[in-house]
Amino acid sequence: MDKLIQVGLTGGIASGKTTAAATLAALGAHVIDTDELARRALDPGEPAFEATVRVFGREILKADGAIDRERLGNIVFADSRQRQRLNDIVHPEVRAAWQGELIELKRAGWRGVVVVVIPLLYEVAVQDWFDAVIAVGCAETTQRRRLHERGLNEAQADARIRAQLPMPVKVERADFVAWNECSQAVLEQQMTRIWKRLESLAPAGGNISN
């Protein structure tokens, strides 16, 4: 591959984005996980941490001074205006970190596929930033089961699923789709097939989604 191409990887909550990205990383992609960047942005001492405590109050802090992410999650998923306030703080930090990583890769002469995992890719309308978009989808019942296994109750799962665009919309808009309803091995097979397409299309130049 003689150039750097940027691929967005999106999907619903608990649809398998992180698992799919791990397969692409094993195949040679450089993965930037914006969920991870968002988590780090809220670590104590970070500018977004300070701003979040200013906006939501010290009652979102645990005894050790870190943000209680479950408490903050329950606040923002219960009220879309509160969610917007948090997104307004965190999203610019995430974009700066992601763009910074990309600039570093380019400066180092990196060639190949950069996969950016971005759950709200269509919601924040950044699809045009990418050469191609992959959606990882699954049935809502599967999302609920996985969230339940993670310790979320029905209301918490519901609020998180409703806060995103419906899965069929993401699947319809994406250039590539992996449907994650079987084993992880089947997801790996689908990601490997998509990887081969990315590899074969990348050297041709231009926007591979055209």
Min separation Cβ 199 and ligand ATP, Å: 23
- Given 7, 9, 10, 11, the residue binding ligand ATP (CB under 6 A): 11
Q: Which is nearer to ligand ATP, 151 or 206 (CB)?
A: 151
Q: Give the amino acid at 124.
A: V
Min separation Cβ 22 and ligand ATP, Å: 8
Asked if 210 touches ligand ATP (CB under 6 A), the answer is no
CB atoms within 10 A of CB 74: 15
Of 172, 184, 176, the residue nearest 146 (C-alpha): 184
Site residues for ligand ATP, 176-205, by CB under 6 A, read 180, 183-184, 187
Asked if 35 touches ligand ATP (CB under 6 A), the answer is yes
Q: How far is it, in rounded angstroms, from Cα 116 to Cα 21?
A: 9
Q: Which is nearer to ligand ATP, 99 or 184 (CB)?
A: 184
Q: Where would I find the beta strands (DSSP E) of the chain? A: 4-11, 30-33, 112-117, 132-137, 176-179
Q: Which is nearer to ligand ATP, 14 or 29 (CB)?
A: 14
CB atoms within 10 A of CB 27: 17
Site residues for ligand ATP, 86-125, by CB under 6 A, read 119
User: Strand pairing of 132-137 and 112-117?
Assistant: unpaired
- In the three-class reduction of DSSP (H, G, I as helix; E, B as strand; rest coil), residue 29 is classed as coil
> Which residues of this protein are in contact with ligand ATP, per CB under 6 A?
11, 13-19, 35, 119, 146, 180, 183-184, 187
